[in-house]
Amino acid sequence: MRARLTAIRPIEVARQVEMLTRDGHRRFVLCRVDNGGMLDLERLGAARYAAGLQSKVELEAETSAAAAAR
């Protein structure tokens, strides 16, 4: 099962990942807060760095409602 990451700031995302990794999680999904923009990419990078090479971190899939709003 994938752990859901909801923190907004990249440093908070990294802390959340570190805590979850200590609890044994190795798969993460990062909730979108910027429609996949720069903030989401920074958060994704922070999560991947904190999780390490043995973990998988993904950005949450865009919903059809969000895609239609563009």
pLDDT tens for the chain, residues 1 to 70:
899 999 999 999 999 999 999 999 999 999 999 999 999 999 999 999 999 999 999 999 987 555 555 5
Q: Return the amino acid letter for 57.
A: V
The answer to whether residue 70 is domain-embedded is: no
Specify the pLDDT at position 63: 72
Q: 29: which 2 tokens?
A: 């999904």
pTM of the entire structure?
A: 0.86
The answer to the question of residue 67 being in a domain is no
Total number of domains in the chain: 1
> Domain range for residue 34?
3-62
Cβ-in-10-Å burial (0-12, 13-18, 19+) of 50 comes to: buried
Per the domain annotation, does 22 fall within a domain?
yes
Is residue 32 assigned to a domain? yes
Predicted pLDDT of residue 1: 85
Structure tokens at 60: 């949450």
pLDDT of residue 37: 96
Asked if residue 41 belongs to a domain, the reply is yes
